[in-house]
Amino acid sequence: MTLILSGNDYKYELEGVLKLFIPATRFEHMYADNTDVSDDYVFARVKETEKTVLMYVICSYKGVKKRKGKLLYKKTSLNIDKELCLSCILYKVLSEITGIVPKWGVLTGIRPVKRVNTWLNEGCDKAEIYSRLQNEYLCSKEKCDIAFATANTQKQILDTLDKKSFSLYVSIPFCPTRCSYCSFISQTLDSGRKLIPEYIDKMCREIRHTALITKRLGLKLDTVYFGGGTPTSIEASQLAALMKCIEHSFDMSSVREYTVEAGRPDTITEEKLRTIKENGCTRISINPQSLNPDVLTAIGRSHSVEQFYDSYDLASKIGFSCINTDIIAGLPNDTFESFSDTIDKLLDLSPENFTVHTLSIKRAALLNQGDKEVLKNPTDEMVDHATKRLWDCGYLPYYLYRQKNMVGNLENIGWSKPGHESLYNIYIMEEVQTILAIGAGASTKLVDYPDRLERVFNYKFPLEYNKHFDLMLSRKDVIEEFYGNSQKK
């Protein structure tokens, strides 16, 4: 498929719309005023005069050719968003040709709720927001419902956010094995075990260094989040060393939430859970992804369904007040019936948080190297069913994000019982609070909301992190520069 641009340079946005209808395809692009190509093509034209803007799309795909356009008069159409208009025209052409109607319309970004939050802050009411989502972005009513409900849940939390607060992210990029859908920067324990002792030592140095910076700036620690990888892949003593280092380095009196992703049940032991609880953790994730043994085998998860139940029960007995469980819709070997069964069984446990992911096939994932036929399952129906069941059981959506190459062009949604929303997940997704990151593959986000956002990246792999640690540590100087510039405004 060739994307031909004429009178515009909207390659990124138009390719995003194309991928909604023709996924897993490599698009060529060129600038020309004709359609002189031999393969399938999209010709996107913007022709502007002193008084008018003419936009049209010609699409030839699988032997079907269609054209749609729009003529706008500058005098009556103020603030014309030509990129958005052209994207909507392309969406309508491709919908007619393919019969596909993506429910998020032309909202191809990863944070649709962020847009809703902006409109709420501008004073828009529900009717205005729905009108803009449906008419300007071609968003379906059901996605308007979920985006608006998520924004409503977030509002009471975002309204109380202290501008001098920050969150701390701690990266443990190790896993027992690599799941077939995963593209995170992580190493298996077999290949990375010898790096871990030095890695833990370096992370403690980075924690202490970061804490000194935050003290000089007068910043207050709000939430702590251990992610990965699978943090419980390392030993209990190593987890304790990191958690105690955080406690001794930062003022913990303002911390409202402390999460550790236990993640895979095959890494969980009573010693690790007690260590995590005794060192201040208030929220834990135990993630089965599916309760269908055939699905677990297909995605390379080495734990059993029974191990998940045992781990969940152990965490409950030890006294964790907030437990999250993750599942993924669209996994190979899953069916609507087995996915529904997973939902029902997890709801019987009544976790405080329930995250429903949609499978996203990234280039680095093992699934992307195999037969894509295995992925043809009713993902849309699975997500719809999960949404209905969670609404019915009293859960509310509290954060939502999307990824490239998601099956069915769907989304990931975090659900919670009222009052158990994860602050960290909201802050990082809506980009409203500074996140200071520790460890390999971690990315610091410096936020001066709503005007400025800068990122500082650590080295991706533990070997690089260990080897170039001092150079990486010097990058933390950017934190003080950022806050110094913010105070000068």
**Residues 168/224, Cβ–Cβ less than 8 Å:** yes
pLDDT digits (tens, 9 = 90+) for 342-401: 999 999 999 999 999 998 765 444 444 444 544 567 889 999 999 999 999 999 999 999
pLDDT at 363: 46
pLDDT at 180 over 90: no
pLDDT digits (tens, 9 = 90+) for 251-295: 999 999 999 999 889 999 999 999 999 999 999 999 999 999 999
pLDDT winner (highest mean) among 97-111, 128-142, 170-184, 442-456:
128-142
Report DSSP letters for 436-473, one per residue: EEESTT-EEEEEETTTEEEEEEPPSSHHHHHHTHHHHH
pTM of the model as a whole: 0.90
61 by DSSP, 3-state: which?
strand
Q: How many CB atoms lie within 10 A of CB 478?
A: 14
pLDDT at 199 over 50: yes
CATH code that applies to domain 1-101: 3.30.160.100
Name the β-bridge partners of 133.
none
Q: Is 226 left (phi over 0), alpha (psi -120 to 50) or beta?
A: beta
pLDDT at 485: 74
Query: Rounded to whole angstroms, how far apart are CA atoms 243 and 249?
Result: 10
- Amino acid, res. 375: L
> What are the residue ranges spanned by the domains of the chain?
1-101, 156-478
pLDDT at 299: 85
Query: Rounded to whole angstroms, how far apart are CA atoms 461 and 373?
Result: 32
Alpha helices for 333-410 (secondary structure H): 336-349, 379-392
Query: Rounded to whole angstroms, how far apart are CA atoms 101 and 87?
Result: 14
Q: Band of the pLDDT at 176, cuts 50, 70, 90? A: confident
pLDDT at 9: 95
Element (H, E) at 123: none
User: Residue 28: phi, psi to the nearest 5?
Assistant: -85, 155
β pairing state of 396-401 and 412-416: antiparallel
pLDDT at 378: 87
Of the candidates 166, 165, 169, 239, the residue with the CA atom closest to the CA atom of residue 199: 239
Lowest model confidence (mean pLDDT) among 6-20, 105-119, 359-373 = 359-373
pLDDT digits (tens, 9 = 90+) for 412-431: 999 999 999 999 999 999 99
Q: Quick one: tokens of 316? A: 């409950």
Mean pLDDT of the 193-219 span: 96
Query: Rounded to whole angstroms, how far apart are CA atoms 55 and 211?
Result: 54
Written out in words, the top-level CATH class of the domain with range 156-478 is alpha beta
pLDDT at 181: 61
User: Residue 174: phi, psi to the nearest 5?
Assistant: -125, 145
Q: Which residue has the tokens 């999460």?
A: 259
Q: Band of the pLDDT at 449, cuts 50, 70, 90? A: confident
Report DSSP letters for 176-214, one per residue: SS--TT--SS-EEHHHHGGGHHHHHHHHHHHHHHHHHHH
Q: Which residue has the tokens 């979920």?
A: 146
pLDDT digits (tens, 9 = 90+) for 320-358: 999 999 999 999 999 999 999 999 999 999 999 999 999
pLDDT at 365: 45
